[in-house]
Amino acid sequence: MSRPASRVARGEIGAYVGRTDAFAADARRVERALAWMSDTERDRYARFRHDRDRFMFALGREMARTLVGDALGVAEDAWSWREGPHGRPEIASPPGDLHFNLSHSAGVVVCVLGRGRAFGVDIEDLTRRAPDPSIVARYCSPDEAEDVSAQAGAWRDRFLTYWTLKEAYLKARGLGIAVPLSDISFSLGPTPADARVRFLDSLTGSDDRWMFHLIRVDPHHLAAVAVETADGVTPPFALHAY
């Protein structure tokens, strides 16, 4: 299997996009991913009811194992995986400043790698069943809700844009959805890298030095990457096909 090198320099952020159709069609890749899993992971894999969910889980493990191993300069199974707060994946050993994050939806998996800073990723299926419009006010700030309403027939995509940005931020922070999402307020700019965040009410005073990348992976998937920039440095960002 050919894939881009993942030896990221300190401060760089790389996002890798994989698809389950190619993965599921290659029995050797599936077998290898299963071999790299712990007993607990294999049990989780077996409990999925639908093949697509099962393969997204396995592909995420394969991507993390290969990309992190390559970045560390070790074999795929020579580093230890653990789940931190709210299930955020972390590298238990060897110690260092490399981090990774995963997200998947509707047959697409995104793995993000970087060094020396916090980041998170979320991906959503834009063709999913439209949510109940009544949830907009619950999960969006007043300004976001007004913007969603202004989109008329395109309101679902705008709502999912805000939702994806919020999820990426929460994953970067290692926070759960117990945080009031309506207290996280985004404004969108003319380019995918122009989203800005501010914090309201219960989150007033939170550090807003974050950068965000919105990625239209394909016509049906939207991903967001949140990257902490408290050091005043805007890290280079690159998107790769896995």
Instruction: Identify whether residues 69 and 147 lie together within a single domain.
Output: no
The C-alpha atoms of residue 99 and residue 121 are separated, in whole angstroms, by: 12
164 and 68, same domain (yes or no): no
What is the structure's pLDDT at 143? 98
Q: Give yes or no: residues 139 and 105 share one domain.
A: no
Tokens for 87, please give them.
């299930």
Task: Say if residue 19 is in the same domain as residue 118.
Answer: yes
pLDDT of residue 1: 45
Last residue in a domain, options 87, 106, 122:
122
Going 65 to 66 to 68 to 74, the CA torsion angle's sign is positive
The answer to whether position 111 is within a domain reads yes
**What is the number of structural domains in the chain?**
2
135 and 178 part of one domain: yes
Judge whether 230 lies within some domain: no
CATH number of domain containing 20: 3.90.470.20
Residue that terminates a domain, selected from 57, 90, 122: 122
Low-confidence ranges of the chain (pLDDT < 70): 1-7
Residue closest to 239 by CA, chosen among 219, 221, 213 = 213
160 with 94, same domain: the answer is no
Kindly state whether residues 115 and 159 are assigned to the same domain. Answer: no
In this structure, what token pair is assigned to residue 177?
Answer: 């959805």
Residue 6: the pLDDT is 65
168, 161 contact by CB (below 8 A):
no
Dihedral (CA of 192, 223, 219, 187) sign: negative
Question: Are both 93 and 19 inside the same structural domain?
Answer: yes
182 located within any domain = yes
Q: Which residue, 61, 95, 122, sits at the end of a domain?
A: 122
Nearest-angstrom CA–CA distance, 116 and 113: 10
Q: What is the pLDDT of residue 3?
A: 56
**Does residue 104 lie in a domain region?**
yes
| In a domain? residue 235 | no
Answer whether residue 238 is part of any domain.
no
Residue 1 located in a structural domain: no
Indicate the burial class of 87 (C-beta count within 10 angstroms; 0-12, 13-18, 19 or more). exposed
Kindly report, residue by residue over 63-80, the tens digit of the pLDDT.
999 999 999 999 999 999
Residue type, 115: R
Residue 148 lies in a domain: yes
Q: Are residues 159 and 146 in the same domain?
A: yes
What's the pTM value of the predicted model, to 2 decimals? 0.94
Q: Residue 17's domain spans which residues?
A: 13-122
